[in-house]
Amino acid sequence: MASTLSQFGFSAKLAWRQLTHEKAKLFAAVLGVLFACVLVFMQLGFRDSLYASIGTLPNSLQGDLFIQHKQTEALWRAIPFHRQQVYRALSHPDVERVMPFYIGQTPWKNPETQAKRTLMVLGAEPSDAVMSLPGMTATAAQLTRENTIAFDTLSRPEFGPIAALLAQGPVDTEVNDRRMDIVGTFRLGASFAADGNALVSDQNFIRIFPNRLPTMVDIGIIRVKPGADVIAVRDALRGLLDENVHVFDKQGITDYEFAYWKNNVPIGFIFGFGVVMGLVVGMVIVYQILFTDINNHLNEFATLKAMGYSQGYLYKVVFASSVYLALIGFIPGYFLSLGLYELAESVTYIAMPMPLSKVISVFTMVLVMCILSGCLAMRKMRQANPADMF
Amino acid sequence: MTVANAIVVQNLTYSYGEGALRRPVLKGVDLTIKAGEIVIMTGPSGSGKTTLLTLIGALRAAQEGSVKVLGQELAGASQRQMIQTRLDIGYIFQQHNLLKSLTAAQNVAMSLELRDGLTTAQRRDMAHKILADVGLADHVDKVPAQLSGGQKQRVSVARALVAKPKLILADEPTASLDKVSGQEAVNILKKLAREQGTTILLVTHDYRIHDIADRVVELEDGIITPAKPA
């Protein structure tokens, strides 16, 4: 229907002219939308980077199945269990290899400033190469030596410029007050659970944590034989091992970590709440502005009705106004958020990506927010009564 | 459509309020206006002039009696029929009621956007032409805030006339204007209406403009009193 289409064009044109007529008001409306945009972008950004950082550790563990204590809420605070459980898994014919894995938190002394800060120490048999850590420069032989450690260069800068120091010569520092030689680096990344990471052999792990028993491990990593059915092995192991441990596949351990951050720690809720609040505040601002605008132009709208314009046409004007506001507010909001993401990355050392999917979903939210405000404001439009014009 | 009578009102009554508060305003109005006639309606305030005008203009639904405007019976008409009838009527209000965000030409063109089959350029040309006819050729691109009261009312005259309506309804069009600009506005209105053969029903207290009318009718206490020659 060409006439319907052109009528929509007319109402959009009128909406645009009315919006741009009063620049100060338009500016206020755009600020409202921009505010909502930035708030939603930041909340989603923090949430997504949190979620992304959760997967970092489990994803880097090279294994098919994982054993952890049922009381373990999250890897950074794992409850140790006896390594017998891990070795017992070897009795399954499809299990190729088992690898005990240790996780601990301990202070690390910045070799430059001598300031101490807690990081996460991961321990494994070096020859297991359980961790396919990108950029690992330390060899298994180096890590097998007494008192050696590898450092995560994506840790926060408070741990010291380790990579730069290593380039100049050998570096040592104190980890849990024990002198350790830094023999190499890798790249894992800081997360909400750990400001930094370091990797040691199982022997050195016990040296750093003298009150930990070598018999008590935090995770058991299992590699199954090539061609074996991982899920079937998992289910078989669940029957084989004690009641007090979980047996997860890779997806399972990642999901378990996610569930902890999403539910046990109400961080997911907090960010979701922030998104909703941002949208509500934005909606109220846009509603206020559209409502006042309609109220101020009530006699103009009534005049249009007297001239033969339908109620529907006037609704379209309000609708078009809200779509325009969403568009005009979103564009600066997007660029401002992009800058703030970079700022946040430089402060938190946690990646905050801006994928297209996020841009689209935030725009959709802001658009729906503006249209809802428009629908609320439209009710005022019904009061435009042409009979009152004479 | 040629109709001999532009407006036929028969035994029209209208009341405001409900129940005990019911207050009749029109008490059996009979009024016939021939096509092409220019009629002025006077009467004391509160006599129901404006109510009658809004009923004829299809802005208010008639309750009892008959209101036939341009051949369409408005008593009991649907909202759709009323909106359709409004398209054939040009309105001039006491206040100019121009859209503040639009230029004079854009305001006038608003009357044309509801008509199918016109290009943007045609609408603009028609708006410019009629604005020239009302003496505002140099002011087409000004917004209402940049125009004087008389100029604004002439823009609203142009807006009412541009779509060549069959009927013009005007309520106190000179009330907010000084003598000279008021006289100017109604003279232009009369001249252009005569050229287009448009019927005009004009409500006014302003006796200075009575001379433009073919006929003056008086509404008093809800009924039309016997016609007086202009």
Per-residue pLDDT, B194: 87
CA distance B58 to chain A (A): 8
ipTM of the complex: 0.87
A118-131 average pLDDT score: 84
Q: Are residues A78 and A44 in the same domain?
A: no
> Do residues A64 and A82 touch, judged by C-beta distance below 8 A?
no
> Least CB-CB distance to A389: which of B97, B98, B99?
B97
The predicted structure's pLDDT at residue B61: 87
The pLDDT tens digits for A195-251 are 999 999 999 999 999 999 999 999 999 999 999 999 999 999 999 999 899 999 999
Domains: count for chain A = 2
Residue A307 lies in a domain: yes
pLDDT at A207: 95
**A380 alpha-carbon distance from chain centroid:** 41
Q: What is the mean pLDDT of chain B?
A: 87
Neighbours of B4 (CB within 10 A): 10
Higher local confidence (pLDDT), B23 or A174: A174
β partners of residue A97: A223
Q: In the predicted model, what is the mean pLDDT of residues A167-188?
A: 93
Q: What is the pLDDT of residues A21-47, one digit of tens each?
A: 888 888 988 988 998 899 999 999 988
Question: Is it the case that residue A148 has pLDDT exceeding 70?
Answer: yes
Backbone angles phi, psi at A216, to 5 degrees: -105, 115
Q: Which residues of A touch B41 (CB under 8 A)?
A: none
Residue A351: per-residue pLDDT: 80
pLDDT of residue B224 exceeding 90: no
Give A217's DSSP letter. Answer: E
- Spans of all domains in chain B: 1-88+166-173+199-230, 91-164
Q: Among B93, B110, B111, whose Cβ lies nearest the Cβ of A390? A: B93
Asked if A20 and B101 come within 8 Å (Cβ–Cβ), the reply is yes
The reply to whether A330 falls in a domain is: yes
B130-158 average pLDDT score = 91
pLDDT single digits (tens) B185-199: 888 888 888 888 899
Tokens 């934005």 belong to A282
Q: Which residue in chain A has the smallest CA separation from B92?
A: A390
Q: Which of B39, B28, B43 is nearest to B6 (CA)?
A: B39
CB B131 within 8 A of CB B137: yes
Among residues A306, A313, A285, the alpha carbon closest in space to that of A381 is found at A313
CA distance A52 to A260: 14
Cα A287 to Cα A135: distance, rounded to the nearest angstrom: 53
Architecture in CATH of B1-88+166-173+199-230: 3-Layer(aba) Sandwich (3.40)
For residues A119 and A195, membership in a common domain is answered with yes
Do residues A199 and A332 share a domain?
A: no
Higher-confidence residue of A90 and A385: namely: A90
Say how far apart CA A155 and CA A137 lie, in whole Å.
16
Question: Residue A3 and residue B53: Cα distance in Å, rounded?
Answer: 31
Q: Stretch B117-127: mean pLDDT, rounded?
A: 88
Q: Given an 8 Å threshold on Cβ–Cβ distance, is A299 in contact with B111? A: no
Q: What is the pLDDT of residue A131?
A: 64
- pLDDT of res. A130: 66
Check: CB of residue A218 under 8 Å from CB of residue A78: yes
Residue at a domain's end among A243, A278, A310 = A243
Q: Using alpha carbons, select from B67, B65, B24 the residue that is nearest to residue B169.
A: B67
The alpha-helical segments, DSSP class H, found in chain B are: 49-56, 79-86, 104-109, 120-133, 149-161, 179-196
pLDDT (0 to 100) of residue A1: 41
Q: Are residues A384 and A297 in the same domain?
A: yes
Q: Would you state the pLDDT for residue B55?
A: 92
Instruction: Measure in Å the smallest separation between the Cα of A300 and chain B Cα atoms.
Output: 6
Q: Which of A177, A171, A169, A168 has its CA nearest to residue A150?
A: A171
| Strand A95-109, strand A116-124: pairing | antiparallel
How confident is the model at residue A49, as a pLDDT?
A: 84
Residue A342 lies in a domain: yes
Q: Please indicate, yes or no, if residue A60 is contained in any of the structural domains.
A: no
Residue A158 included in any domain: yes
Domain extent for A235: 71-243
Residues A83 and A228 reside in one and the same domain:
yes
pLDDT in tens, B2-36: 558 889 999 998 988 888 888 888 888 999 999 98
Averaged pLDDT for residues A133-141: 85
Q: Per-residue pLDDT for A2 more than 60?
A: no
Calculate the CA B162 to chain-centre distance.
13
pLDDT for res B229: 54
For chain A positions 280-319, those within 8 Å of chain B (CB to CB) are 297, 299-300, 303-310
Cβ within 8 Å, pair A390-B94: yes
Last-in-domain residue among A243, A278, A306: A243
Question: Does some domain include residue A66?
Answer: no
Question: What rounded mean pLDDT belongs to chain A?
Answer: 89
Asked whether residue A367 falls in the same domain as residue A272, the answer is: yes
C-alpha distance from A3 to closest chain B C-alpha (Å): 7
A231 lies in the same domain as A325: no
Residue B217 and residue B226 in contact, taking contact as beta carbons nearer than 8 Å: no
Q: Which residues contact B75 (CB under 8 A, 6 or more apart)?
A: B62, B63, B64, B65, B66, B67
Question: Residue A389: is its pLDDT beyond 80?
Answer: no
pLDDT computed for residue A293 by the predictor? 86
Task: State whether A10 and A36 are in the same domain.
Answer: yes
| pLDDT higher than 60, residue A256 | yes
Asked whether residue A384 is domain-assigned, the answer is yes
Asked whether the beta carbons of residue B95 and residue A299 sit closer than 8 angstroms, the reply is yes
